[in-house]
Each structure stands twice: as structure tokens, then as C-alpha cells.
Chain A
Amino acid sequence: MAKKPATKPASAPTPKAAPVADSGPGANLQRPAAEVLYAAELDKLAERDKAQPKPKGWKLTPRSVLSFVLGDEDMGLAPKFVGSRAFLERAIVALATNRGLMLIGEPGTAKSYLSELLAAGISGDSTLTVQGSAGTTEDNIKYSWNYALLLAEGPSERSLVPAPVYRGMREGKIVRFEEITRCPIEIQDTLLSVLSDRVLAIPELDGPERSLFAQAGFNVIATANTRDRGVNDMSAALKRRFNFETVQPIGSIEDEMALVTREAGKMLARAAIPVSLQADVVEVLVTTFHELRHGKTGDGKALEPLSTAMSTAEAVSCAYAAGIHAYYYGGGDVEPAHLVQHLVGTALKDAPDDVKKLSGYFNHVMKGRKRGAWPAYYEARKHLP
């Protein structure tokens, strides 16, 4: 076992009672939607925006959406997504100027989370979601039929079962299309006319009901993961209808430390595990993820990137797993050795080249670090395969 490192209290905010405690909105849900969880914040912002001009169909002004997503200390808005303001401004303006928004990036960069927050901020509803997969059909996207009613009454609004796009157009809301590039191209392309003409044809119905015109406020946020299937598998015509934004991994180690402490803390609290993550332990974990992800150490040494993405989401689960480990098998403090063991599990899976790169990182980078938990972490390299 590694020697127990000198621990100092976390400087990053220690996980206070997370919003999902035993009371408050959505208390009994496993994972309440953002608009439920943050209902109070959204109300406050809507109040502030009452007299402000807003894009048609929006619940908030673009600026308030920005404050909601990034958080605002002065207004008492919780920090949520961590990212560059210019990036978010671009994303919001794309939606405000009626272009679709395509969020792309490595796995675990919070694309889905961000699209949820945006939908909650703009439409007050993040639930109109299409989950893309190889099996996604037009029915899942636009609408389908209740066959019993269809047979009994023929096609009518009553027998039509709306899918997210239909509802988004009718109600003037943001529709989220997750993992769009996993769908076959023909299926993706059903969005073409919806996005350019803002009208959905329903050939089965007669009269004015044959065309559903989108209410102001309707728009689409799609997400795509660049690791499993890039945006190359997307028609040029559809690409043209979206503004693309790459969601970058968190740029600053301090921000990422705060986020990992906060999120892993929430998860541990939810699992009723009274372990706290010390700042120096979080520091070595986040620094490792950060440096390996960017292929560069703090002092500019290039690293061979690993084949896994080393995402923030993985850092959070690594910290969480180490916490559980420490609680059940250790003395209750998360130690560097716990991290190393879970690093292998979460991050490396089974790529032998990655193992070599990781041990190169331990041997040539960490060796020189003498502060905080680094020496113990370096010692713990014996847990690497």
C-alpha cells in the first residue's frame, strides 16, 4: 500500500447537499429533467426578462439563457456547464437566428447535458428528445399512428401519435436529436424540409391539417460523437442547415477539479457514502486526465494521446469509484493508490499501447513532481498492469 499522503482540506467547493436532496423539485426522481431541477432559477430569470424583447417563442432572452447555462453567482444561479463563453454565445445565437445547432465532440464532453440545459432555458422543456440509433425510424422522429383508432376512425389528429419533432413544431419548442450520426443518412435527411421550410407534411391527413407549420421557437439541437461515427456520415445538404460547434473538453485544470469534486461528491452523497475527496487527490486525478487528453504536460512536453478519450465524465466516474473503494476496502480516505487502480479500469480498458503510454507518463513526468499527492501517486504505479 502506498504511504498515506498528507491530506489537506479540499479547496474546491466541498459537495454540499446537492440539489437532489430529499426535498425540493424532483426529489424522488432518479434524474429529474433540468427544467424541474432548476425550476426556481428559470422562474427568476423569466421574471427578470419579462419586459425584454426575446426571440419569438423563447422563454428567456439569449443573455439569460447564457446566465442559466454558465451559472451566475450574483443572481444565485448554480454553475452547470463549464465552457468558454464565446462558444456558448455562438451556440445560442445560432439557435436565435433560426439555424439548427449541431454539437460535436469527444465522448463525455457534456454534449447531451448542454443540449438539455439549452432546451430547458429556451423552451422550458428538455424532454422532446429523439435518441438516434441504427434503428431510428421516421416514426420515432415525426409521428406515428394509433392503429386501433386509425382503423376505427381513419387518419385524423386524434389517431396521430406525435413524436418529438411534431410536438416541437406544434408547441414551438426545441427538439433534441441525440447521436444523430448513428441514424442512417436517409433518416437524418427527414429533417431537411423541417429545417429549411419549417413545415411538416402529413400526407395522410386532409385539408389544412396536411401541413404542420412550425410555431416560432421550434428548432433542433443535434449531438454527435466524433469517436464512434464522425459527421462525415451526414449529407452536405443537412450540414448546411446547422451551425456546428465543437464542445471542447474543459480547458482549465482548476475548473475541472471543481467540477469533478462537485459531481463525484453528488454521486457519493446520493449513494450515501460519507467519503470526501481531498483537493490534492483530485488534483492528481484531474491533472492526469487533463494532460493525457491534451497530449501535453503542464510544462509543454508532448504525450502520445491514448486511444480512449480520457473525458471529464470518465474522471468523474473514476473519482466516484475510488471513493467507493476507499469506503469499503480502505480507511475511508481516497488515496492515490485507489485512483491508479480505477484509472486502469475506467480509462485504459484493454489497450496494451495505452498501458505503455500511461507508464511512460508515470515514469517520466510524475517522477519529478514532489508536491502534494504526487509522490504517493507515483509510488502507486505498481498497480498498473
Chain B
Amino acid sequence: MISNNKTFTKIIEKQLLNLVSNFPFIEEAVIVSSDGYVVANSKTNNKCIEKVSTMGSSMISLADTMTAELKMGRCVNLITENESGLVVIIHINSDLKIITVTRKVSQLGMLLTSTKKYAAKIRESIN
């Protein structure tokens, strides 16, 4: 449904390309549907990212379930800090999530701020 709409995908893709060109430490940015389909990707032909994005949709869904259980409302963003990189997942709306990946472990602040900013931009541009 979502992923078949070409103009819609084009708009989002353009935003993702802006994001990675304005913040070159971001290795990859992906938009994934809440049921785990890649809708747009800053890099074409990266097979591995499809699986990772689907995992991201499971993770943020689980995080939402966890925070609801704690009566803390919806999860705003999910960060995984890893030995050699960072991943951020943020809701764009109920259907779409943005996932950004960097190898620069020191850039958490920038990664969060820029991803949030573009999540908001994309939300606006598709409304």
C-alpha cells in the first residue's frame, strides 16, 4: 500500500538523501513500515539493510509495548549503542519509522538531533 506509491516514496527518498549528505557521518538512513517493509533507503542495493530494518520495526514495536506496560506512553526513540557504531530508530507516524546508522560512536547527540529533525520534516512532507 504505502510502498507502492511512487511519488510518496520519491519525496521520502529525497529527504533521506538530504539527511545523509548534510550529515556525512550517517552511513545509512532507511524508512521502514511498521510491519517491516523498507519503504525508502538512502543507499540502493544494500541487501543487509532490509533485514536490519525489519528487525528495527520489531524492536520499536517491542519498545512501545514495554513503555506502555510501564505506563510511560509511546517510545519516542530507540538507541542502540554498540561497540563500533550507533543505531537510532524513531517513529515518523503510526505507519512509518526512520532508522539511521553510524560507525562514529562519538556522534550520538548529532545522530539523534538530525534523525529527529528529518523525522519531523518527513512527517510534514507526507501530510
Do A and B come from the same complex?
no
Q: Which residues of A contact B (CB under 8 A)?
A: none
